[in-house]
Amino acid sequence: MTTFKRRINTSLLPDDFLSYTDAKFYNVAKHFIGESASELLEIQSIRSPDSLILISDVFAILDIKCAALNSLKEKLCLKSDDDIYIVKPGIKSSMNYFCELIIQKKDEDIKLSRKQNKRYTSVVLAINTDSSITTEPSSSRQQQLLPSNTTNIVQSSAPAMLVNESYHRSFITNSISNWCQKYSSKLLLTEGVDYHLFLITSSDTNFTATIRCKCGSKIALVKFQKNFQLSNFYKHLVSLSCTTVKKSKRITTSNKSVANENDSRGSISVTSHEESGLKRSAPCDAAKKKRAYQTHSK
Protein backbone atom coordinates (compact mmCIF):
# COMPACT_ATOMS: atom_id res chain seq x y z
CA MET A 1 0.00 0.00 0.00
CA THR A 2 1.30 3.43 -0.81
CA THR A 3 1.31 5.65 2.22
CA PHE A 4 1.59 9.37 2.28
CA LYS A 5 4.68 10.47 4.10
CA ARG A 6 4.45 13.92 5.49
CA ARG A 7 7.61 14.86 7.27
CA ILE A 8 6.78 14.39 10.89
CA ASN A 9 9.58 15.14 13.24
CA THR A 10 9.27 12.85 16.22
CA SER A 11 12.38 14.31 17.84
CA LEU A 12 9.98 16.94 19.18
CA LEU A 13 8.75 14.27 21.58
CA PRO A 14 10.74 13.06 24.58
CA ASP A 15 12.54 9.79 23.82
CA ASP A 16 10.53 7.73 26.28
CA PHE A 17 7.27 9.60 25.62
CA LEU A 18 5.31 6.45 24.82
CA SER A 19 5.68 5.38 28.43
CA TYR A 20 4.33 8.67 29.82
CA THR A 21 1.08 8.66 31.76
CA ASP A 22 -1.12 11.20 33.55
CA ALA A 23 0.52 14.54 34.48
CA LYS A 24 3.68 13.71 32.56
CA PHE A 25 1.63 12.91 29.47
CA TYR A 26 -0.66 15.95 29.81
CA ASN A 27 2.34 18.26 30.15
CA VAL A 28 3.69 17.19 26.79
CA ALA A 29 0.21 17.18 25.24
CA LYS A 30 -0.32 20.79 26.38
CA HIS A 31 2.69 21.81 24.39
CA PHE A 32 1.23 20.42 21.14
CA ILE A 33 -2.53 20.80 21.46
CA GLY A 34 -2.90 23.57 24.02
CA GLU A 35 -4.20 23.67 27.55
CA SER A 36 -7.91 23.28 26.80
CA ALA A 37 -7.54 20.32 24.45
CA SER A 38 -5.27 18.72 27.00
CA GLU A 39 -8.02 19.20 29.59
CA LEU A 40 -10.36 17.45 27.19
CA LEU A 41 -8.07 14.41 27.31
CA GLU A 42 -7.90 14.58 31.07
CA ILE A 43 -11.67 14.81 31.52
CA GLN A 44 -12.01 11.65 29.41
CA SER A 45 -9.29 9.86 31.38
CA ILE A 46 -7.15 9.49 28.30
CA ARG A 47 -4.02 8.95 30.32
CA SER A 48 -1.38 7.86 27.82
CA PRO A 49 -0.29 8.14 24.18
CA ASP A 50 -1.60 4.62 23.49
CA SER A 51 -5.03 5.31 24.86
CA LEU A 52 -5.22 8.52 22.83
CA ILE A 53 -4.53 6.93 19.45
CA LEU A 54 -6.96 4.10 20.13
CA ILE A 55 -9.87 6.50 20.50
CA SER A 56 -11.58 7.07 17.19
CA ASP A 57 -12.84 10.58 17.90
CA VAL A 58 -11.57 12.49 20.90
CA PHE A 59 -14.05 15.30 20.32
CA ALA A 60 -17.14 13.08 20.15
CA ILE A 61 -17.76 13.53 23.86
CA LEU A 62 -18.51 17.21 23.26
CA ASP A 63 -21.79 16.19 21.64
CA ILE A 64 -23.06 15.05 25.01
CA LYS A 65 -25.14 17.53 26.99
CA CYS A 66 -23.19 17.68 30.22
CA ALA A 67 -22.68 20.62 32.54
CA ALA A 68 -19.12 19.53 33.34
CA LEU A 69 -18.20 19.98 29.69
CA ASN A 70 -19.68 23.43 29.22
CA SER A 71 -16.62 25.50 30.00
CA LEU A 72 -14.48 23.25 27.80
CA LYS A 73 -16.99 23.53 24.98
CA GLU A 74 -16.74 27.30 25.17
CA LYS A 75 -12.98 27.12 24.81
CA LEU A 76 -12.69 24.40 22.17
CA CYS A 77 -15.68 25.16 19.99
CA LEU A 78 -17.36 27.87 18.03
CA LYS A 79 -21.05 28.15 18.72
CA SER A 80 -23.28 28.73 15.73
CA ASP A 81 -26.32 31.01 15.90
CA ASP A 82 -28.57 27.99 16.19
CA ASP A 83 -26.56 26.76 19.19
CA ILE A 84 -24.47 24.08 17.51
CA TYR A 85 -20.94 23.68 18.81
CA ILE A 86 -18.24 23.08 16.22
CA VAL A 87 -14.69 22.23 17.26
CA LYS A 88 -12.32 24.94 16.10
CA PRO A 89 -10.43 23.66 13.06
CA GLY A 90 -7.06 24.67 14.49
CA ILE A 91 -7.64 22.59 17.59
CA LYS A 92 -8.75 19.63 15.50
CA SER A 93 -5.70 19.85 13.27
CA SER A 94 -3.25 20.12 16.16
CA MET A 95 -4.92 17.09 17.76
CA ASN A 96 -4.55 15.19 14.47
CA TYR A 97 -0.94 16.24 14.23
CA PHE A 98 -0.27 15.15 17.80
CA CYS A 99 -1.82 11.74 17.09
CA GLU A 100 0.23 11.36 13.94
CA LEU A 101 3.36 12.19 15.88
CA ILE A 102 2.54 9.42 18.35
CA ILE A 103 1.80 6.90 15.60
CA GLN A 104 5.03 7.79 13.82
CA LYS A 105 6.93 7.54 17.09
CA LYS A 106 5.49 4.08 17.71
CA ASP A 107 6.44 3.09 14.20
CA GLU A 108 10.02 4.24 14.69
CA ASP A 109 10.28 2.54 18.06
CA ILE A 110 9.09 -0.74 16.54
CA LYS A 111 11.65 -0.50 13.74
CA LEU A 112 14.36 0.30 16.23
CA SER A 113 13.53 -2.58 18.54
CA ARG A 114 13.27 -4.91 15.55
CA LYS A 115 16.74 -3.85 14.51
CA GLN A 116 18.08 -4.31 18.03
CA ASN A 117 16.44 -7.71 18.32
CA LYS A 118 17.96 -8.75 15.01
CA ARG A 119 21.38 -7.66 16.19
CA TYR A 120 20.84 -9.47 19.46
CA THR A 121 19.68 -12.62 17.71
CA SER A 122 22.67 -12.62 15.41
CA VAL A 123 24.97 -12.20 18.40
CA VAL A 124 23.26 -15.14 20.08
CA LEU A 125 23.50 -17.18 16.90
CA ALA A 126 27.18 -16.37 16.59
CA ILE A 127 27.72 -17.53 20.15
CA ASN A 128 25.74 -20.70 19.48
CA THR A 129 27.72 -21.66 16.43
CA ASP A 130 30.96 -21.15 18.31
CA SER A 131 31.43 -24.59 19.87
CA SER A 132 34.04 -23.46 22.34
CA ILE A 133 31.42 -21.53 24.31
CA THR A 134 28.73 -23.19 26.37
CA THR A 135 25.54 -22.78 24.39
CA GLU A 136 23.04 -23.72 27.08
CA PRO A 137 22.03 -20.32 28.53
CA SER A 138 22.15 -18.33 25.33
CA SER A 139 20.07 -20.80 23.31
CA SER A 140 17.32 -20.77 25.90
CA ARG A 141 17.43 -17.00 25.84
CA GLN A 142 17.15 -17.01 22.10
CA GLN A 143 14.12 -19.28 22.21
CA GLN A 144 12.41 -16.87 24.54
CA LEU A 145 13.33 -13.95 22.39
CA LEU A 146 12.15 -15.23 19.03
CA PRO A 147 8.45 -15.91 19.63
CA SER A 148 7.85 -12.83 21.75
CA ASN A 149 9.62 -10.78 19.12
CA THR A 150 7.28 -11.96 16.36
CA THR A 151 4.09 -11.34 18.29
CA ASN A 152 5.31 -7.89 19.22
CA ILE A 153 5.71 -6.89 15.62
CA VAL A 154 2.32 -8.19 14.60
CA GLN A 155 0.51 -6.44 17.40
CA SER A 156 2.18 -3.10 17.35
CA SER A 157 2.48 -2.54 13.63
CA ALA A 158 -1.29 -2.70 13.20
CA PRO A 159 -2.25 0.75 14.54
CA ALA A 160 0.68 2.32 12.70
CA MET A 161 -0.78 1.32 9.33
CA LEU A 162 -2.47 4.14 7.51
CA VAL A 163 -6.18 3.46 7.49
CA ASN A 164 -7.52 6.22 5.30
CA GLU A 165 -10.44 6.62 2.96
CA SER A 166 -8.84 4.81 0.02
CA TYR A 167 -7.92 1.94 2.32
CA HIS A 168 -11.57 1.52 3.40
CA ARG A 169 -12.82 2.02 -0.15
CA SER A 170 -10.63 -0.66 -1.65
CA PHE A 171 -11.27 -3.01 1.27
CA ILE A 172 -15.03 -2.67 0.83
CA THR A 173 -15.11 -2.91 -2.98
CA ASN A 174 -12.72 -5.88 -2.95
CA SER A 175 -14.82 -7.65 -0.34
CA ILE A 176 -17.92 -7.14 -2.45
CA SER A 177 -16.22 -8.46 -5.63
CA ASN A 178 -15.01 -11.51 -3.73
CA TRP A 179 -18.45 -12.13 -2.33
CA CYS A 180 -19.99 -11.81 -5.81
CA GLN A 181 -17.58 -14.35 -7.25
CA LYS A 182 -18.36 -16.77 -4.48
CA TYR A 183 -22.08 -16.17 -4.79
CA SER A 184 -22.21 -16.75 -8.52
CA SER A 185 -19.68 -16.69 -11.34
CA LYS A 186 -22.15 -14.62 -13.34
CA LEU A 187 -22.56 -11.95 -10.70
CA LEU A 188 -20.72 -8.68 -10.98
CA LEU A 189 -21.52 -5.62 -8.90
CA THR A 190 -19.67 -2.44 -9.74
CA GLU A 191 -19.24 0.50 -7.43
CA GLY A 192 -20.85 3.57 -8.97
CA VAL A 193 -23.20 1.38 -11.04
CA ASP A 194 -24.83 -1.28 -8.91
CA TYR A 195 -24.13 0.40 -5.61
CA HIS A 196 -22.67 3.62 -4.33
CA LEU A 197 -20.29 3.70 -1.42
CA PHE A 198 -20.26 6.76 0.81
CA LEU A 199 -17.40 7.22 3.23
CA ILE A 200 -17.92 10.18 5.47
CA THR A 201 -15.07 11.33 7.61
CA SER A 202 -15.14 13.26 10.83
CA SER A 203 -11.39 13.08 11.35
CA ASP A 204 -8.38 11.52 9.62
CA THR A 205 -9.06 8.14 11.12
CA ASN A 206 -12.76 8.14 11.84
CA PHE A 207 -15.15 7.10 9.08
CA THR A 208 -18.75 6.09 8.67
CA ALA A 209 -19.65 3.98 5.67
CA THR A 210 -23.00 3.72 3.93
CA ILE A 211 -23.91 1.85 0.79
CA ARG A 212 -26.77 2.92 -1.41
CA CYS A 213 -27.91 -0.11 -3.35
CA LYS A 214 -29.17 0.24 -6.92
CA CYS A 215 -32.62 -0.75 -5.67
CA GLY A 216 -32.69 2.41 -3.59
CA SER A 217 -32.06 0.97 -0.14
CA LYS A 218 -29.44 2.47 2.11
CA ILE A 219 -27.32 0.15 4.22
CA ALA A 220 -25.07 1.35 7.01
CA LEU A 221 -21.90 -0.67 7.54
CA VAL A 222 -20.67 -1.59 10.97
CA LYS A 223 -17.02 -1.37 11.80
CA PHE A 224 -15.35 -4.19 13.63
CA GLN A 225 -11.85 -3.34 14.82
CA LYS A 226 -10.11 -1.89 11.77
CA ASN A 227 -12.42 -2.85 8.93
CA PHE A 228 -16.00 -2.33 7.93
CA GLN A 229 -18.16 -5.44 7.91
CA LEU A 230 -20.14 -6.10 4.76
CA SER A 231 -22.59 -8.61 6.24
CA ASN A 232 -25.42 -6.04 6.37
CA PHE A 233 -25.07 -5.39 2.67
CA TYR A 234 -24.85 -9.09 1.74
CA LYS A 235 -27.93 -9.79 3.81
CA HIS A 236 -29.72 -7.06 1.92
CA LEU A 237 -28.55 -8.29 -1.50
CA VAL A 238 -29.99 -11.76 -0.95
CA SER A 239 -33.21 -10.47 0.60
CA LEU A 240 -36.42 -10.59 -1.39
CA SER A 241 -36.77 -6.81 -1.34
CA CYS A 242 -33.58 -6.26 -3.37
CA THR A 243 -33.59 -6.63 -7.16
CA THR A 244 -29.93 -5.73 -7.82
CA VAL A 245 -28.45 -9.24 -7.81
CA LYS A 246 -31.15 -10.63 -10.08
CA LYS A 247 -30.80 -7.78 -12.56
CA SER A 248 -27.00 -7.81 -12.57
CA LYS A 249 -26.88 -11.54 -13.28
CA ARG A 250 -29.16 -11.06 -16.26
CA ILE A 251 -27.09 -8.22 -17.70
CA THR A 252 -23.83 -10.08 -17.24
CA THR A 253 -25.26 -13.10 -18.97
CA SER A 254 -26.44 -11.10 -21.98
CA ASN A 255 -23.00 -9.41 -22.19
CA LYS A 256 -21.44 -12.83 -22.33
CA SER A 257 -23.53 -13.82 -25.33
CA VAL A 258 -22.31 -10.68 -27.14
CA ALA A 259 -18.76 -11.72 -26.32
CA ASN A 260 -19.44 -15.10 -27.84
CA GLU A 261 -20.61 -13.49 -31.08
CA ASN A 262 -17.30 -11.65 -31.26
CA ASP A 263 -15.58 -14.93 -30.63
CA SER A 264 -17.05 -16.53 -33.73
CA ARG A 265 -15.87 -13.52 -35.74
CA GLY A 266 -12.27 -13.33 -34.64
CA SER A 267 -9.40 -14.38 -32.50
CA ILE A 268 -9.87 -16.29 -29.29
CA SER A 269 -7.26 -14.29 -27.46
CA VAL A 270 -9.31 -11.11 -27.73
CA THR A 271 -12.33 -12.84 -26.28
CA SER A 272 -10.55 -14.30 -23.31
CA HIS A 273 -9.10 -10.88 -22.66
CA GLU A 274 -12.58 -9.46 -22.80
CA GLU A 275 -13.95 -11.96 -20.40
CA SER A 276 -11.46 -11.01 -17.77
CA GLY A 277 -12.46 -7.40 -18.34
CA LEU A 278 -16.07 -8.38 -18.04
CA LYS A 279 -15.55 -9.51 -14.49
CA ARG A 280 -13.83 -6.33 -13.50
CA SER A 281 -16.14 -3.64 -14.80
CA ALA A 282 -18.88 -3.39 -17.30
CA PRO A 283 -18.26 0.07 -18.89
CA CYS A 284 -14.58 -0.66 -19.48
CA ASP A 285 -15.55 -3.94 -21.03
CA ALA A 286 -17.93 -2.24 -23.41
CA ALA A 287 -15.15 0.07 -24.58
CA LYS A 288 -12.82 -2.85 -25.18
CA LYS A 289 -15.50 -4.65 -27.07
CA LYS A 290 -15.97 -1.66 -29.32
CA ARG A 291 -12.26 -1.57 -29.99
CA ALA A 292 -12.16 -5.29 -30.66
CA TYR A 293 -15.08 -4.92 -32.99
CA GLN A 294 -13.35 -2.16 -34.97
CA THR A 295 -10.23 -4.23 -35.34
CA HIS A 296 -12.25 -7.06 -36.74
CA SER A 297 -14.20 -5.02 -39.24
CA LYS A 298 -11.03 -3.64 -40.82
Q: Which residues bind Zn ion (CB under 5 A)?
A: 213, 215, 217, 242, 244
Q: CA 258, 259, 260, 263: dihedral to nearest 10 degrees?
A: 130
3-class DSSP string for 130-160: CCCCCCHHHHHHHHHHHHHHHHHHHHHHHHH
Q: Which class for 101: exposed (0-12), middle (13-18), buried (19 or more C-beta within 10 A)?
A: buried
Least distance CB 217 / Zn ion (angstroms): 5
Least distance CB 192 / Zn ion (angstroms): 15
H helix or E strand, kind and range, residue 122: helix 89-129
Cβ nearer to Zn ion, comparing 113 with 217:
217
Compute the distance between CA of residue 127 and CA of residue 274 in angstroms, rounded to an integer.
Answer: 59
Cβ nearer to Zn ion, comparing 187 with 213:
213
Q: Are 207 and 199 in contact (CB under 8 A)?
A: yes
Sign of CA dihedral 203, 204, 207, 211: positive
Least distance CB 187 / Zn ion (angstroms): 13
Give the orientation angle of helix 244-265 with respect to helix 268-280, to 10 degrees.
170
Compute the distance between CA of residue 194 and CA of residue 56 in angstroms, rounded to an integer.
Answer: 30
Cβ nearer to Zn ion, comparing 102 with 237:
237
Cβ nearer to Zn ion, comparing 206 with 217:
217
Please provide the size of the chain in residues: 298
Cβ nearer to Zn ion, comparing 194 with 285:
194
Least distance CB 174 / Zn ion (angstroms): 20
Least distance CB 244 / Zn ion (angstroms): 4
Sign of CA dihedral 255, 259, 264, 265: positive
Least distance CB 237 / Zn ion (angstroms): 6
Cβ nearer to Zn ion, comparing 242 with 270:
242
